[in-house]
Amino acid sequence: AELASGRQLGFDLVSLDCGIEPDTRALLTGRETVTPVKPIATFIARWRGLEQRFRALRRGSLVVVGGGAAGIELAIAAAERLLPLGGNVTLIEAGSHVLPATTAQAQRFAERALSQCGVRLVASTRIVERGSGVVISQRGESFAADEVLWASAASAPGWLARCSLDLDADGYVRVTPALQSPTAANVFAAGDAATVIGAPRPKAGVFAVRQGPLLARNLRAAARGDRLASWRPQREALALIAISAAQALAVRGAWCAVGPAWMRLKRWIDERFVASYRDLGAMPASRIAGPIRVRPRALTAVVPDLPCGGCGAKLGADLLARALARLPAQARRGVLAGIDAADDAAVLEPTVRPLVVTVDGFRAPVSDVGLFARLAVNHALSDAFAMGATPIGVLALVTVEHAVDALKERDLEQVLLGAAAALQAAAQQPLAIPLLGGHSAEGAELSLGFTVLAQVDGERWFAKGGLVAGQSLILTRALGSGALLAAAMRGQARSAWLSAALSTMIVPLRGAAGVFARCGAHGVTDVTGFGLLGHLAEMARASRVAVEVDVAGVPAYDGALDCLARGVASQLEPNNALVLRDFDLGGLHVSDPRLRLLVDPQTCGGLLAGVDEGEAAACVLALRAAGDARACIVGHVRARPPGAPIGRLLRRRPGREGGQR
C-alpha cells in the first residue's frame, strides 16, 4: 500500500473503512474555497475560524449546500450559533424539497423546523460556481456567501479508483456479504466506502456501525484461515435528525414523528457510541506485552518451532540485499567505505574535532514499523544533539520477529526506509547523516538499536555538569510520552492524544540544540528514560548546585495527566520515582499526577538546559520560532548549601517568566 507521501506499507490483510467525501464536482469555479463537512477534523478547524470572524464582524452570510440530514442539522446548529452574532444562514438544496428520499410529511417537518430556526431555505437550485462573497446557481442567481459549507450528495474517495479494486459505477468498493473484495481476498471494506453485492444500502452511519463487529470477526477469521461470516442487513433503519436544541425528527421508511423524546434517544445513542471509543476498558495483562502482529496461518506454518540463536539468527544475505537495494541514495561526505561496500565495517575519514559516540535502542512501542524506526533514530540522535554535536553517521542493530522470509524482508525494508527518512530530517544541509551499516537478526519481537557517531562543533560541547546558580531551566517539549505509550499498549489511549504526541516525537532535536548553542546554554541534557527529575538530578549532582522546578509550569502532552491520574503508567516509573528522595516535594503527594509526570520515562523527549536568567525569555521565544511550541521555563538553578537536598519542587506557577511557559 502506498501513502500519499510516497511511503509504502506492506500488509497481509487490509480493511478500507475510509468513509465518503462531499461531491464538489458540480462546482465549475472556486472549489478550493468551500468547506466540505468531511473529513470532520478539517471541518472543525475551519468552523472555529468562521465563528471567530462572525463574532468579530457582528455580521456575515453562511451558505450550507445540501438538504439531506447532514445539511439540515448543520444549518440549524449554525443558525443557533451565528444568528445571535448578526449572521444569517441559507440552506440550498438541488431538489424540490429537503430530505428527498423521505415522505412528504417528514419533509414538511424538516422545512418547518428550518423556518422556525431562522434558516432561509432555497430549493430547486443547483450551485455551480463560487465567486467572491457569493455562490451562483445554474440559472445565474447569486446568493451572498462569506462562507460555504458543502454537505451535498457524497462521493467515493478519488484514490480508490487508483487501487485496482473491483468498484461499482459510483466508485465504491464492491464486497461480498462477508465484506470481502470478490477479486482480492486479502482486501476488506465496510461502511460508506463499500457496496455490498446483492444488498446495497444508503450511505448512512447506522449501517456502517452495524458492520463493525462482523468486520472485526472476519478479519480475525481471515488471519487464521477460518470460514467467514456473512452480513445480513436490516431493510430499513431509524434515522434521528436534530431539528432544534430540544427536538429531533424520527424517520423510518414511510413513518415519521417529531418531539423531545426522539432528541433524548438521539443523544443517548450518540453519547453511548462516542463513549465506546473514549472510555476504553483495560486490555487483559496477557496482551500488553507489545504490539500484536497477526501472522496468517499459511505464512507462519513454515517458521521453525525453535528458531536459531547466535549467528544462525542472522537474516539471509538475499533478503538483506533486497531490502538494502530499496534504500534511497545516500551522500558519502567523509565516508570511505559505507553500507554499499562489501566490507564488514565502515571506514570514515579522520577528524581533528572531538568525536562523540553513543548508542540507544528499545523494543517497538507502536505497531507501525516505519514510524518505530523514526522514533528509534530520533531517540538515539538526541544524545548527540544534547551535547551540541553534529551526527556524521549511524550504525543499526535490527531484530525482526520470527516469520517467513517475505515478512522478515518487509519489516526490514520498513525499518531501513523509516530510519533513512529520520536521518534525512535530522541532517543539517548540506551535511547528511548516512546509515553506515549494522547488523540484522531475528528474535521474539521487533527491536532497534542505533550507534551514533558525531563531531563536536567548535571547541566545546554541552555537558550535564555545566549548570550555574542564577540560570533558568528551559524544557523544549511536553512530558508524558511514557504514560501515553503505556496506555496505548493497554488500549486506553485516545487516538488524538497519541497522534499529537507522536507528531512531536518524530521531530529531530537539531533545531533546539542550535538555539541553545546561540543562547550560550551551560548544562544540557536530553530528557529520556529517567524522566525530567532523574536527568535533572544528574545535572545538579555533576554541577554541585540545587535546582527548583515549578511543577505547575511543566507542560504535559494532551491526555498524559489523565492517564497518570487513572494509574496508567510505564513500568519504569516506580524506579524513576526513587529520585524523589533527593527532592523537597513542597507538600506534593507522591500520587499526584503532576508529580508522577516529572518521573515519567520519555521516548524522544525534549532538551533541558540551563540559560542565564537574562537570556531565558528570548531563548524560549527563539525555540518556539524554531518549531518547539511547548518550550518554556520550568525552574531555576540555585546555590546548594551543605546538607540541602539537590532539588525543590514548587507548587506555584512561575512569576515574571510565566508568559513564556
Cα atoms in the 13 Å half-sphere on the side-chain side of 472: 28
How far apart, in whole angstroms, are the C-alpha atoms of residue 648 and residue 550? 9
User: What is residue 75's three-state secondary structure?
Assistant: helix
**Beta carbons of 435 and 577 less than 8 angstroms apart:** no
Q: What is 275-297 written as a DSSP string?
A: HHHHSPPPPPGGG-SS------H
Q: Tell me if residue 640 falls in helix, strand or coil.
A: coil
- C-alpha 631/C-alpha 475 separation (Å) is 6
**Ranges of H-type helices in 186-341:** 205-224, 260-278, 297-300, 317-325
Distances (CA, A) of 157 to 170, 171, 172, 224, 451: 10, 8, 8, 30, 43
Quick one: which H or E segment has residue 424? helix 405-426
HSE-up (13 A, CA, CB side) for residue 118: 14
| Amino acid at site 39 | P
- Helices in 292-354 by DSSP H: which ranges? 297-300, 317-325
Helix/strand/coil (H/E/C) assignment for every residue in 123-179: CCCCEEEEECCEEEECCCCEEECCEEEECCCEECCHHHHHCCCCECCCCCEEECCCC
Please report, as a single letter, which amino acid is at residue 187: V
Q: Could you say which of 311, 604, 619, 632 is catalytic?
A: 311
d(CA 646, CA 642): 10
Short-list 141, 27, 119, CA closest to 64: 119
Closest to 441 measured CA to CA, from 294, 312, 625, 255 = 312
**Which residue bears the cell 474517495?**
157
In terms of Cα–Cα distance, which of 178, 234, 231, 176 is closest to 202?
234
State the residue for C-alpha cell 473503512: 17
Rounded to an integer, what distance in angstroms lies between the CA atom of residue 352 and that of residue 342? 27
In the block, residue with C-alpha cell 526513587: 578
**CA separation for the pair 22, 501 (Å, rounded):** 30
Verify whether residue 632 is a known catalytic residue. no
What does the alpha-carbon distance between residue 502 and residue 493 come to, in Å, rounded to a whole number?
13
Residues marked active site are found at 311
